[in-house]
Amino acid sequence: MVGMISIYALAAVGMSMQFMMIINVLMTLYVVGGNALISRFIGQGRKKRASALLYSLAILAVVLAVFVSITGYYGSESIYELMGAEPEVVHQGSLYFKIISLVIVFIFIDSLLYNALSAAGDTKSSLYIKLFSAGLNAFLNYVFIFGHFGVEAMGIEGAAYATIISYIFNVVAYTFLLRLPKSKLHLIPIMRLRDLKRVWNVGYVAALDRGISSMSFLVFVSIITAYGTAELAGYQVGLRIEGIAFMPGFGFAIAAMALVGQSLGAKDKEKAFNMGIISGRIAYIFMGSVGVILIVFPDDLVKLFTQDSATILVASKYLILVGLAQIPLAIMFVYSSALRGAGATKTTLKINIFSLWFFRVIPSFIAYKMGFGIILIFIIMNIETLIKGLIYWYIYQKKTWLNTKI
């Protein structure tokens, strides 16, 4: 729907997702460490301890969100300018992100509760909540962006309002869920600093990993931005469509993180290892199948988002290339998540920094400076994905990560 406003609006919203990657760094501080510890507590049968930890993490999330909201609201325009976006993209982007910044606290809490319940083994509740939320978001986009049912058309600002209302709904729904007796977790108002310290010991490394990775992606997107708005919009559209393939990978990555952590909590290392293997196999079957669709029907998929011919050309070529990389991408998703579920965040940090910079960012920058086209950038990205997938497969098979202490 944003693509129907203008190519500038499409590029602006796409770039905002890159900013959210930076914000995700702070969420990683409590999400990854919290997941690892909550899943172990559940595996040990200590539901009350896990619920007390969830309460402590919620307080931490609110505090962090306040600082992010202030920064995002007053600094959104400067962030777009630093990315090298065209003036109209900067204008559209700042309109969008200022509104999003007002509800960062709901985004932080939503992420915490979604991940905590997943770590405890409850993914079905989130499924129902997110299904309704996605439908609500789509309906409100239709109403607010284009102006229907007596509402004035608001363009890109309408997209932002639709998004924040859906996040508020998520948090309200999760809060209601946690109050139910049958819920796997509750909010028990007990602060355990010792557990927060254990979360920090895992989380700060994961946050550093996510931070450096996010900066790497921002540099990578800046290289693509330098090619022009059509190339940037094409990349962003292709990335959104690739999300169709991402979803099974993310789903089974969450499964691997939860089941590995719970198995280690129950002191069953063999089961922990096998949970990652099984999750990985299912993920690469699903993602490989979707990859075939991306290769065979790229133009038809892109035309659902935009009718701009230059954007369609770039996005279609992107989809064909990434369709070839879905299996190693699935391995990377699941095995890296399994390692994080075990608390082995230092290992994932080293792999991600080395791979992203030496196999993606630096080669892409050299290719751009030498005058090669955007397609070579996409090829370099795929080669980096393949290499990283092989590295994770090798590390996972060694099994040394099973001995990680939290």
Residues 231, 197 within the same domain: no
Within a domain: residue 238? yes
Tell whether 147 and 290 lie within a shared domain. Answer: no
Residues 194 and 236 in one domain: no
pLDDT, one tens digit per residue, over 376-394 is: 999 999 999 999 999 999 9
Q: Is 310 within a domain?
A: yes
Q: Quick check: is 57 in a domain?
A: yes
Q: Which domain, by its residues, includes 46? A: 1-203
Residues 242-254 have a mean pLDDT of 82
> Residue 217 class from Cβ within 10 Å (0-12 exposed, 13-18 middle, 19+ buried)?
middle
Domain check: are 181 and 261 in the same one?
A: no
Residues 234, 157: one domain?
A: no
Q: Are residues 46 and 103 in the same domain?
A: yes
What mean pLDDT do residues 260-270 have?
88
Q: What distance in Å separates the CA atoms of residue 294 and residue 291, rounded to the nearest whole number?
A: 5
Residue at which a domain ends, from 169, 203, 237 = 203
The verdict on 115 and 37 lying in the same domain is: yes
Give pLDDT, residue 376.
Answer: 94
Compute the chain's Rg from CA coordinates.
21
pLDDT in tens, 121-140: 888 898 899 999 999 999 99
Average confidence (pLDDT) over 69-75: 80
User: Per the structure, how many domains does the chain have?
Assistant: 2
Domain assignment of residue 215, yes or no: no
pLDDT at 274: 93
Residue 236 and residue 191 share a domain: no
Please report, for residues 59, 72, 326, the alpha-carbon distance to residue 167 in angstroms, rounded to integers and kept in the order given: 18, 17, 29
| 305, 365: one domain | yes
253 and 341 together in one domain: yes
If one compares 245 and 44, the residue with the highest pLDDT of the two is 44
Query: Are 12 and 148 part of one and the same domain?
Result: yes
> Is the same domain home to 253 and 317?
yes
**Full-model pTM:** 0.73
Q: What percent of the chain has pLDDT over 90?
A: 32
pLDDT tens digits, residue range 18-44?
677 778 888 888 888 888 888 888 888
